Amino acid sequence: MKSQVTLKGKPKRLAVLDYGLFEVHSGPRTIGICGFVVETDANEVVLIDTGFPEKYARDAEAATTEDELGSFGRVLSVTPDNMPGPQLAKLGLAKSDITLMIQSHTHIDHVGDMAGYPHAPILISAAERALPRPLYWSGKQMMDWPDRDYHLVQGDMDLGHGFEVLLCPGHAPGQLAFMVQLPQTGWVLLTSDAISRASEIDEKFAGSWDDDLAIHHGDRLMKLASERGALVIYGHSPEQWPTLKKAPEWFD
Cis peptide bond prior to 28, omega within 30° of 0 = yes
Q: Are 19 and 51 in contact (CB under 8 A)?
A: yes
- At 1, is the pLDDT very low, low, confident or very high (cuts 50, 70, 90)? low
What's the average model confidence in pLDDT over 168-191? 98
Integer Cα distance of 235 and 194 in angstroms: 8
Strands 100-102 and 29-40: unpaired
Residue 4 has pLDDT above 80, yes or no: no
Q: What percent of the chain is predicted at pLDDT more than 70? A: 99
Read off the pLDDT of each residue in 79-104 and give the average, rounded to a whole number.
98
Say if residues 33 and 49 touch (Cβ distance below 8 Å). Answer: no
**Structural domains of the chain ordered from first start:** 11-243 (3.60.15.10)
203-212 per-position pLDDT tens digit? 999 989 999 9
Laid out side by side, the sheet with 122-125 consists of 73-77, 11-24, 29-40, 45-48, 100-102, 122-125, 150-153
Question: What is the SS3 assignment for 208?
Answer: coil
Region 109-130 average pLDDT? 97
CA distance 33 to 141: 20
Triad 190, 195, 200: Cα angle to 5°: 150
pLDDT at 26: 86
Indicate the burial class of 244 (C-beta count within 10 angstroms; 0-12, 13-18, 19 or more).
middle
Distances (CA, A) of 178 to 23, 89, 118, 194: 25, 24, 23, 10
pLDDT of residue 138: 76
pLDDT digits (tens, 9 = 90+) for 207-242: 899 999 999 999 999 999 999 999 999 999 999 999
Alpha carbon of 171 to those of 32, 72, 177, 242: distances in Å?
17, 15, 11, 23
22-60: per-residue pLDDT in tens?
999 988 999 999 999 999 999 999 999 999 999 999 999
pLDDT higher at 26 or 154 = 154
**SS3 (DSSP) at 183:** coil
- For 147, residues 6+ apart whose C-beta sits below 8 A from its C-beta are none
Q: Average per-residue pLDDT in the chain? A: 96
Helix (H, G, I), strand (E, B) or coil at 72: coil
How many C-beta neighbours within 10 Å does residue 227 have? 9
Coil, helix or strand for 234?
strand
